[in-house]
Amino acid sequence: MSDRAAPLAVTQGDPSGVGPEIAIKAWLARKADAPPWFLLADPDHIERTAKTLGLDAPVKGVTPAQAADVFAQALPVVPLHARVIGIPGKPDALDAPATLEAIERGVMMVRSGQARALVTNPIAKDVLYKAGFHHPGHTEWLGELAEREWDCGPLRPVMLIWSDELAVVPVTIHLALTRAIAELTTQAIVETARITAQDYRTRFDVAAPRLAVAGLNPHAGENGTMGREDIEIVAPAVAQLKAEGIDARGPLPPDTMFHAAARARYDVAICMYHDQGLIPVKTLAFDSGVNTTLGLPFVRTSPDHGTAFDIAGKGVAQEASLVAAIALAARLASAQT
C-alpha cells in the first residue's frame, strides 16, 4: 500500500507526442490544493519542450522523496536512465525503452510507497511494437507488472473510462471487432462486472453500484431476430450477476442507453466492445474523460486520448484530461489508503 503523503507518479508517455506538453501545462494549471506529483522523464527534454513552446515552467530533476517539496516552485522530474530523443510529431522506436522504463518504474515506485498512484501519459503502441513490446496496450501490460511486483495470482485488468457525464467499461478492449465478438463470453462479462462493482464500492465509495449492461446487437438482438448472442451470452451474465447480489440490468439496447435520462439510472455502463462504450463517452467528455484501470492492486489513471502526433510541438494540446486524471488518481488513492 502506498504512503498517503507520497506524491503521484506521472509518466512521460511517448516523448514525441503531446505527453510532455500537457504535463508542463498541467503543472502550470495547478491549484494551491493540487496533489503533488512528479514526472518520469528526461529533465533536459522537458525543459527544451517548455522553452520551445514558450511556457514559463522551471524544471528540476528530483528523487521521488524530493518532489513534494519542489512542486510549488518547479515541475519535479525524476530522470530516466534511457535516452530520450522526443522530436515532436516524429515518433522514433529508439524512444521506446524510455517510454517503457517510465511505466515500469512508476509501477515499482507505487509498490515501494514512493508514489501514491500512477498516471500514464499516452503511448503509441505501433512504435513500441517495433521495439518488441507484445501487449495489446497499457491495460494488459499493467496487469502483468502488477502480478510480478505484488506477487499475486492472475489478474483481470478492467478498463474504465470515467467522467462526470458517463462512465463505461468495455468487456473486450483492444481487439478487432470480429475477434471481439468471437471472444465475448458470459464468464468474461461476469468477471468484468464483478471487478467493476468491487472497485466502485472500495474506490469510488458507491455502496451499491448500478450496472447497465449493453446488448451486443442492435436493439439487444430484438428477441433473437438480429443474433442470439444477447439471449445466449449477455442475458445469462446479467442473471448471474443479479444472483450474486450485484445491481445489474440488461441486456439494454445500446442505441438508447446513453442519453441523459438513461444515464441517470446507472453508475457505469458495461459495454461489449471498445467502440460501443468509448464513442459515447468521448463524445460527451472528450476533454475531461479519464482512463482508469480497475482490478489492480494500485491506482492507475490516464488521459482519455492518444499521443496526437499531428499537433505535438504546436502548443495547442489541451491538458484538461491529464488534469482530470491526476485529480481522480489522488481521489481514488485516498479512498484506498
DSSP secondary structure code for residue 222 in this structure: T
Residues 313 and 176 in one domain: no
DSSP secondary structure code for residue 38 in this structure: E
Residues 90 and 6 in one domain: yes
Residues 63 and 109 in one domain: yes
Residues 180 and 39 in one domain: no
Residues 236 and 112 in one domain: no
pLDDT for residue 35: 94
Q: What CATH number should be reported for the domain holding residue 217?
A: 3.40.718.10
Query: What's the number of domains the chain is made of?
Result: 2
Residues 237 and 310 in one domain: no
Torsion of Cα atoms, 193 then 198 then 203 then 206, to 10°: 90
Residues 283 and 313 in one domain: no
Residues 72 and 219 in one domain: no
Strand partners, 225: 227
pLDDT for residue 58: 97
pLDDT for residue 135: 81
> Hey, what's the cell of 249?
440490468
Residues 27 and 141 in one domain: yes
pLDDT for residue 1: 41
Give average pLDDT by consecutive 10-residue segment, the chain, 337 residues.
Answer: 78 97 97 94 97 97 96 97 95 94 96 97 91 81 91 89 97 92 97 97 96 96 90 98 98 97 98 96 92 95 94 95 96 82
pLDDT for residue 136: 77
> Hey, what's the cell of 283?
463524445
Sort residue 8 into left (φ over 0), alpha (ψ -120 to 50) or beta.
beta
Residues 307 and 229 in one domain: no
Residues 164 and 15 in one domain: no
Full residue range of the structural domain in which residue 91 is found: 1-155+296-337
- Of 263, 278, 294, which residue sits at a domain end? 294
Residues 21 and 150 in one domain: yes
CA–CA distances in Å: residue 229 to residues 98, 152, 274: 43, 34, 17
